[in-house]
Chain A
Amino acid sequence: MAYKPQYYPGATSVAANRRKHMAGDIEKLREISDDDLTAVLGHRAPGSDYPSTHPPLAEMGEPACSIREIVEATPGAKAGDRVRYVQFADSMYNAPSTPYFRSYHAAINARGVDPGTLSGRQVVEARERDMEEVAKVQLETEMSCPGLSGLRGCTVHGHSLRLQEDGVMFDMLDRRRLENGTIIEDKDQVGVPIDRKVDLGKPMSEAEAAKRTTFYRIDNVSFRSDPEVIEWTQKVWELRTLYGFQPKN
């Protein structure tokens, strides 16, 4: 029988969503063009070539190395792309993804990525075209809600604040806003104005966000309501503690 990874325990919708994010089994909800994505990331002009930091690997003459033979380089590494980042902030008010599950998604489903997980934001560093691939997947699918998640390279403040009256996560730099029912972004992720209005799509309704979220919340699906998750969390905690205990006598 083929091995099927068991990513996350639990019987609740939050646990199921967490499994989906980790497995990459996520539903595509919107379309964002490559040029729009490049514009909001702000690392290069839309349509321009990828700047490189070294010549393509094929021209460099790599040293003989068994690991290099086993592991094929990612497209970005092959082309010699620069390392660039994408950073997300997700509202605690039932945003679809949490920083940890963005990281799990990137680390499990993409190669050559360096995910960084913080309390209120999550960054993925990778070769530019590899990073764009991860960013596109995370933006276009149920992992993001344009109203409750945001591309924020700096000044991420907002993930733990109450939502604005229109249901959108607060953004100190006003990078995106609700216009005619959709979220429009007219600045890149660090707050520099761009020459276009990027339509990030319709924000999720409160009910849909509650259904798709990976946040345990007492006013939606509480952590304590999932005995299997508690059992495994406690087991991992216990084993980590015991394995660190080394009696000398």
Chain B
Amino acid sequence: MKDPDSETVNRIQVEICPKRLLNPETAQMLLSELSTLDGISKAIIHGPRLPMTVAAGPGSGEDVGHAGRKVIVIADTALELSISVGRIRLEVADADVKEEVRITCEKVLPFQFEFKEGLYFHNRLTVSDYAKYGPDANVEMLGLSDPKSNNPICIIGSKE
């Protein structure tokens, strides 16, 4: 395993927290704009889940067909939203890229948003990561998906 601190220590992690949950169109617009910026190495979208079927109660098993569950296209990569986008967390190369991200958000989002710098991706194996990926896990991929989830990590611009 590579030394987790060697390459990622200088990068900046930011979180965009809009005042409202984004609808798929706004999420696609924002993520597409962000994908055109150089210097973003990781991104997570986070928010309340949009289930395919009713999970509890007398209606269990009924199709939900949530209007927010749409396929969005970001830089020619299609992905189906399984959440309502509430937060976007990014790892960016430096303060200049961070500023570009903030300007992009101001341009795209029609309402206020919080823009915070912090630590949002872990760079060391957690016990769950170790159990799922083993000792030779790629540090760059850590924290990009819920270890309990089967949702794949989406690599923008890749054909996979």
Q: Do A and B come from one complex?
A: yes
Query: A residues engaging B (CB < 8 A)?
Result: 42, 153-155, 157-158, 161-167, 170, 172-174, 177, 187-188, 190-193
Which of B20-28, B90-98, B124-132 interfaces with chain A?
B20-28
Q: Which residues of A contact B57 (CB under 8 A)?
A: 153-155, 190-191
Give the B interface residue count (CB, 8 A). Answer: 27
Chain B interface secondary structure, helix, strand, loop or mixed? loop
Q: Which residues of A contact B103 (CB under 8 A)?
A: none
A42 CA to B55 CA, complexed, in Å: 17
Residue among B51, B64, B67 having the largest count of chain A Cβ atoms under 10 Å: B64
Chain A interface secondary structure, helix, strand, loop or mixed? loop
Q: Shortest CB–CB separation between residue B3 and chain A, in angstroms?
A: 39
Q: Which residues of B contact A172 (CB under 8 A)?
A: 48-51, 64, 66
- A177 closest partner in B (C-beta): B67
Q: Are A162 and B21 in contact (CB under 8 A)?
A: yes
Q: Which residues of A contact B54 (CB under 8 A)?
A: 154-155, 173, 190-192
Interchain residue pairs with CB less than 8 A apart (28): A153-B57, A153-B58, A154-B56, A154-B57, A154-B58, A155-B54, A155-B55, A155-B56, A155-B57, A158-B48, A161-B48, A161-B86, A163-B21, A165-B22, A172-B48, A172-B51, A172-B66, A174-B64, A177-B67, A188-B59, A190-B54, A190-B57, A190-B58, A191-B54, A191-B59, A192-B58, A192-B59, A193-B62
Q: Are A154 and B59 in contact (CB under 8 A)?
A: yes
Q: Which residues of A contact B21 (CB under 8 A)?
A: 161-165, 170
6 closest Cβ pairs, A-B complex? A154-B57, A191-B59, A190-B59, A192-B59, A174-B66, A191-B54
Judge whether B65 is part of the interface by a CB distance below 8 angstroms: yes
Q: Which residues of A contact B111 (CB under 8 A)?
A: 165
Q: Are B62 and A192 in contact (CB under 8 A)?
A: yes
Judge whether B46 is part of the interface by a CB distance below 8 angstroms: no
- B68 closest partner in A (C-beta): A174
Q: Shortest CB–CB separation between residue B109 and chain A, in angstroms?
A: 10
B55-103 interface with A by 8 A CB criterion: 55-59, 62, 64-68, 84, 86
8 Å CB contact of B62 from A162, A164, A191: A191
Judge whether B116 is part of the interface by a CB distance below 8 angstroms: no
Q: Are A174 and B48 in contact (CB under 8 A)?
A: no
Q: Shortest CB–CB separation between residue A176 and chain B, in angstroms?
A: 11
Q: Which residues of A contact B64 (CB under 8 A)?
A: 172-174, 191
Q: Which residues of B contact A174 (CB under 8 A)?
A: 64-68
A167 CA to B21 CA, complexed, in Å: 9
Judge whether B122 is part of the interface by a CB distance below 8 angstroms: no
Q: Shortest CB–CB separation between residue B48 and chain A, in angstroms?
A: 6
A42 CA to B62 CA, complexed, in Å: 14
Judge whether B11 is part of the interface by a CB distance below 8 angstroms: no
Q: Shortest CB–CB separation between residue B120 and chain A, in angstroms?
A: 18
A193 CA to B61 CA, complexed, in Å: 12
Residue among A157, A165, A172, A193 having the largest count of chain B Cβ atoms under 10 Å: A165
Q: Are B20 and A163 in contact (CB under 8 A)?
A: yes
Q: Which residues of B contact A188 (CB under 8 A)?
A: 59
Q: Which residues of A contact B86 (CB under 8 A)?
A: 161-162
* Beyond known contacts A154-B57, A190-B57: 15 more, CB 8 A cutoff: A155-B56, A157-B48, A161-B21, A161-B48, A162-B18, A163-B20, A164-B23, A173-B64, A174-B68, A177-B67, A187-B59, A188-B59, A190-B58, A191-B57, A192-B58
